Chains A and B, each alone.
Chain A
Amino acid sequence: MIASLLPRNLRRTLAGQLLALAIALALGAVVILMIDENPLRVFATLMRGAFGDSEKIAGTLLQTTPILICGVAACIGLRGGMFNVGIEGQLFLGGFAAAWVGFSFALPPVLHVLVAVAAAVAAGAAWVSVPAYFRVRFGANEVVSTILANYVAVLLTSYFTIFLFKRPGGWSETPPILPSAYLPELFSFSRLNIGLLIGLALAVATALFFRFTTTGYAVTMVGSAPKFAEYGGINVRRAGFGVLLASGAVGGLAGGVETLGVHHRFMEGFAPGFGFDGLIAALLANGSPIGTIFTALFFGALRAGSLLLEVDTTASREIITVIQALIILAVSADLLLRRKGDRTGGRRWKF
């Protein structure tokens, strides 16, 4: 069954992505040489920082969790033909909503977590609903509107944190959430929590949904061949709206898991770039939720490794952003695909 969840022409896709990866790493090495560092040393430090011992591996998995959930959010959007670039903003609002429920209400243990997670999901979906409405109703470009909404979301949550809920005498952060809203931790030596399992379950569930349900098939068709879907009697607009809403809800969930599981409070800039990392992971996995598990793990390892990079070498940790961007550029060129047909036609991104 697992095999049937993977893309059909898996070998060609894998070969293409691996070639792209090799090209990107070669280009990344050139950039590292430009900033006067030894590429081999940088890559070795990254690996050591990511998989050096069991604590480091747990750290990698901790970084993987939000990237994976955001990646699933992006996958949902991509499969339905929607570029949700606003996952970052949904993550921030979801994180804030979960923290707010966490410190404002006193509820019994399990119920508290459920209510907080539900608030995160609702916040993410609500934040994307306005761009989604204008996208399906009037065709307002969702890429630009969700990007601009990111900036507003980050500033808005900062405003909430600092002007409305600031912990007296503390940093720019809210009061800590009550222990009843903590997500259970998996090991004693790390903050790694059941968020990772939530992410894995979500990825598998999303893959099953797209592979085995009628609605999933309809959404895939709306994404890849909207005309065909419309002839088939599918309400393309409603499907598009639903896709963006689901994607935003999962983005909000990512923020909720991050505050309830890791930080136990909301703070300014609590999860920088996870939304974009998730989108990149989904693109590298070609929109496959199962593939996103592996690409999210890869990017999580890069992130965890970059922490050691900052300590052990003079390179800045943003060098991994450069490597990620190069990977996506190399993947987008899609070197193995034979180019055919009209020279005037539209561009493609195959799923």
Chain B
Amino acid sequence: MEILATFFNVGLVVATIRTTTPILLVALGGSFTTKAGIFNIGLEGQMLIAAFFAVIGSIWTGSSFGGMLIGVAAALAFALVYAVLVVSFRANEVVVGLALNILAGGMTISLMKAIFGTRGSVVGRGIVGLPKVQLPGARDILGPSYAQLISGYTPLVYVAFLSVPLLVLFYARTRLGLYLRVVGEKPEAAETLGISIARVRYIASLLCGLFAGLAGAHMSLGYITMFTENMSSGRGFMAVAILIFSAGDPLKVLLGCLLFGFADAFSLRLQILNFPSYLILAVPYAVALLALFALSWRTRPKLIRETLETMRNALAGKPQDSGGKLPSDNRP
């Protein structure tokens, strides 16, 4: 029991929230492009370049906020290139995304060597980390040990988690949200309605870049203030995996990200038990793979799905419903 107590405590929840934040931010960004019908594999690169320029920016401007802005600007530049090639030039989105990821990796290492004269990582040198927000009154209400559950995070943690309900409202209640969904689900209908598909997809890509930029800034200026070669280490790809099985739905994205955040936080704790570190490092990727495979079962062939549907209806004594009512169709 004692060993369980060292694993499952308030600290684990706090660690989960921390590790969830960057992947949640980048996955929410990807939800814009997913909803608009673009398969964006370039999230990884946008995050990495933002993390690097956030560090540069915070050194130049001497403030974490300035660093964050410059990081986001770098991610937006990548998102713009992505949109120009994919939307205007109609290039293959996988090829462009992979190329931009490789570009981000090579560029950050080259620039790091040119600016700092080192390989590997940049630590110290006047990097300013994001401040920790102490919520007033949290201590009085929850007591000293539980106050850390809601207080003392960087601002981006709050931004990430508050964005989830905001995005739900955005997709359900705003005109742009509706346009995004139409362009993604039925581009022909969007064209008939006179919606500019290209413009909507550009907006989606840039919104995606904004969130990926925030995710990158949180990686390098959040709880650790440093930049390391390829420090995004596959988080962008995990986000893409989440986007595939959540179809960009913000609530499902949140659930998926919490799963990965938990896997991350939990695997860090496993190191106490002297498990080989290489296997522990592989845990989040393995979880992502398993989730991708397990949930792809949902998209099993239509024939099986419809047979199951009719069988369920017959068992419930309902009349046969030939319309394609999908459970995911939960619009207001």
Binding site for B on A (CB under 8 A): 31, 34-37, 83, 85, 130, 134, 138-141, 143-145, 147-149, 151-152, 155-156, 158-159, 162-163, 276, 279-280, 283, 314-316, 318-322, 324-326, 328-329, 332-335, 339, 343-344, 347-349
Residue of B276, B285, B300 with most partner-chain A CB within 10 A: B285
Chain A residues within an 8 Å CB radius of B105: 318, 321
Partner pick for B98 among A37, A85, A140, A322, CB 8 A cutoff: A85
- B75 interfacial by beta-carbon distance below 8 Å: no
Q: Is B77 part of the binding interface, using a Cβ–Cβ cutoff of 8 Å?
A: no
Tally of contacts, chain A with chain B, CB under 8 A: 163
Interface-side segment among B15-23, B83-91, B142-150, B316-324: B83-91
Complex interface: chain B residues within 8 A of A149 (CB) = 285, 289
Known: A155-B278, A159-B279, A314-B113. Contact between A344 and B241, CB under 8 A?
Answer: no
Q: Which chain A residue lies CB-closest to B229?
A: A318
Judge whether B240 and A144 touch: CB under 8 Å. yes
Is B113 a contact of A316 with CB atoms below 8 Å? yes
Contacts A152-B289, A321-B105, A321-B106 given; indicate if A163 touches B276 (C-beta within 8 A). yes
Closest to B240 in A: A144
Q: Are A321 and B102 neighbours in the complex by a CB distance under 8 Å?
A: yes
Nearest chain B CB to A154 CB, angstrom units: 9
- Check B234 against A138 for contact (C-beta < 8 Å): no
Residues of B in contact (CB 8 Å), total: 56
B287 CB, nearest partner CB in chain A, Å: 10
B241-A318 in contact (CB<8A) = no
B window 278-321: CB within 8 A of A: 278-279, 281-282, 285-286, 288-289, 292-293, 296-297, 299-300
Q: Give 9 CB contacts A-B under 8 Å.
A: A31-B107, A31-B110, A35-B113, A144-B41, A148-B238, A276-B102, A316-B114, A318-B109, A332-B91
Beta-carbon contacts of B210-243 to A below 8 Å, as 1s and 0s?
0000000000000000000000011001101100
- With a cutoff of 8 Å between Cβ atoms, the chain B residues found around residue A283 in the complex are 95
Given contacts A143-B41, A144-B292, 13 further A-B contacts (CB under 8 A): A138-B293, A138-B297, A140-B292, A140-B293, A141-B39, A144-B244, A145-B292, A158-B278, A315-B110, A316-B110, A318-B106, A322-B103, A328-B102
Are B286's CB and A334's CB within 8 A? no
User: Given the complex of chains A and B, what is the CA–CA distance between A148 and B286 in angstroms?
Assistant: 8
1/0 per residue, CB under 8 A from A, across B90-116: the answer is 111111101110110111011111100
A329 x B282 contact (CB < 8 A): no
Q: How far is the CA of A145 from the CA of B285 in the complex (A)?
A: 10
Closest Cβ of chain B: how far from A279's Cβ, in Å?
8
A141, A152, A333, A335: the one within 8 Å of B244 (CB)? A141
Q: Kindly state the separation between the CA atoms of A329 and B81 in the bound complex, as whole angstroms.
A: 9
Q: Does B55 contact A (CB under 8 A)?
A: no
Q: Is B198 close to A, CB under 8 A? A: yes
Q: Residue of B at shortest CB range from A160? A: B278
Task: Give the distance to chain A from B97, nearest Cβ to Cβ, in Å.
Answer: 9
Say yes or no: is B119 at the interface (Cβ < 8 Å to chain A).
yes
A-binding residues in B (CB < 8 A)? 39, 41, 81, 85-86, 89-96, 98-100, 102-103, 105-107, 109-114, 119, 187-188, 190-191, 197-198, 233-234, 237-238, 240-241, 244, 276, 278-279, 281-282, 285-286, 288-289, 292-293, 296-297, 299-300
| Complex contact A159–B92 (CB within 8 A) | no
Give Cα A148–Cα B241 distance, bound, in whole angstroms: 9
- Write out the residue numbers on chain B whose beta carbons fall within 8 Å of the beta carbon of A332: 85, 89, 91-92, 95-96, 99
The interface residues of chain B lying within 8 Å CB-to-CB of A325 are: 99-100, 102-103, 106
Q: Which residue of A lies closest to B276 (CB)?
A: A163
In the bound assembly, the distance between CA atoms of A333 and B85 in angstroms comes to 6
Does A144 contact B237, Cβ atoms closer than 8 Å? yes
**Measured CA separation A344–B182 after assembly (Å):** 12
How many angstroms between the C-alpha atoms of A139 and B99 in the bound complex?
Answer: 24
When the two chains form their complex, are residues A314 and B191 in contact, meaning their CB atoms are under 8 A apart? no
- CB-nearest residue of chain B to A279: B98
- Are B99 and A35 closer than 8 Å at their CB atoms? no
Partner of A349, one of B85, B95, B190, B292: B95
B89:A343 contact, CB within 8 angstroms:
no
| A147 neighbours in B (Cβ, 8 Å) | 234, 237
CB A242 to nearest CB in B, in angstroms, measures: 20
Which B-chain residue is minimally distant from A135 (CB atoms)? B296
Chain B residues positioned under 8 Å from A347 (CB to CB): 86, 90-93
Bound-complex Cα distance A321 to B98 (A):
12
Contacts of B282 in A (CB 8 A): 151-152, 155-156, 159
Q: Check A144 against B278 for contact (C-beta < 8 Å).
A: no
Are B113 and A148 in contact, with the CB atoms below 8 A?
no
**With known contacts A147-B237, A325-B100, A339-B90, A35–B278 Cβ distance under 8 A:** no
Indicate if the CB atoms of B191 and A141 lie closer than 8 Å. no
Contact A349 B289 (CB under 8 A): no
Closest beta carbon of chain B to A223's beta carbon, Å = 13
Chain B residues near A333 (CB-CB < 8 A): 85, 89, 91
Chain B residues, CB < 8 A from A141: 39, 244, 292
Look across to chain B and name the residue whose beta carbon is closest to the beta carbon of A325: B103
Give the CA-CA distance A141 to B289 in the complex, in Å.
11
A35 touches B90 (CB 8 A): no
Measured between alpha carbons, how far is A35 from B230 in the docked complex, in Å?
A: 19
User: What's the Cα separation between A349 and B90 when bound, in Å?
Assistant: 9
Residues of chain A within 8 A (CB-CB) of B300 are: 138
Could you say which residues of chain B place their CB within 8 Å of the CB of A279?
Answer: 98
Decide: A148 and B110 in contact? CB cutoff 8 A: no
CA distance A283 to B97 in the complex (A): 13
* B293 adjacent to A329 (CB under 8 Å): no
B285 partner residues in chain A, CB cutoff 8 A:
148-149, 151-152, 155
Closest A-B pairs by Cβ, 8 of them: A321-B106, A35-B114, A140-B296, A325-B103, A332-B91, A316-B113, A344-B187, A159-B278
Give the chain A neighbours of B95 by CB distance below 8 A: 283, 328, 332, 349
